[in-house]
Amino acid sequence: MQVNMNINGEAVSEDVEARTLLVHFIRDDVGLTGTHWGCDTSNCGTCVVLIDGEPVKSCTTLAAMASGHDITTVEGLEVDNVLDPVQEGFMQCHGLQCGFCTPGMMLTARALLNNNPNPSEEVIREAISGQICRCTGYSTIVRSIQWAAEHGTPVSVGN
């Protein structure tokens, strides 16, 4: 079947099997491998992308269901070589070690900051509670998001 969607502001149209999951569509058909694929059971959150601005686990969404919608992947955070404050924050505050959880963490952070530019630590921890990091112990991720809240405005697509 034909699916059509906007990914990071670019129209994408592909013929896929109806059973294609959004995560595989993005990685294998579109070739954007920044979106990671981990547990495959909607638990780890590394596959999170934004659908119409809301974080969604793409391993538990059909590409067909996303057809007609606006998708933001981690590649969409940087525009014309300018990093999103969330990306800067992860660099400044050591928000990643192996980087496996990072794309999902950064997109959830972006969506959170779009809705609430000044979240408390508690609100940040709640927002990322559906995502697992095996390296950082979360504290540096929380600090990275706080850094982003304090610095600058986002440049990413969809803002």
Q: Which residues bind ligand FES (CB under 6 A)?
A: 37-40, 42-47, 57, 59, 96-102, 133-136
Torsion angle, alpha carbons of 85, 106, 147, 70, to 10 = 50
Tokens of 60: 């538990």
43 binds ligand FAD (CB under 6 A): yes
Supply the Cα-derived Rg of the chain in whole angstroms. Answer: 15
CB of 66 to ligand FES, least distance (A): 14
CB 4 within 8 Å of CB 13: yes
Alpha-carbon distance of 138 to 54, in angstroms, equals 22
106 binds another protein (CB under 8 A): no
* Residue from the set 14, 29, 33, 42 that interacts with another protein by CB under 8 A: 42
11/18 with CB nearer another protein: 18
Q: For residue 153, give the amino acid letter.
A: T
In the complex, the residues that contact another protein under the rule CB under 8 A are 1, 17-21, 24, 40-43, 45, 48, 54-57, 60-62, 64-65, 108, 126-127, 129-131
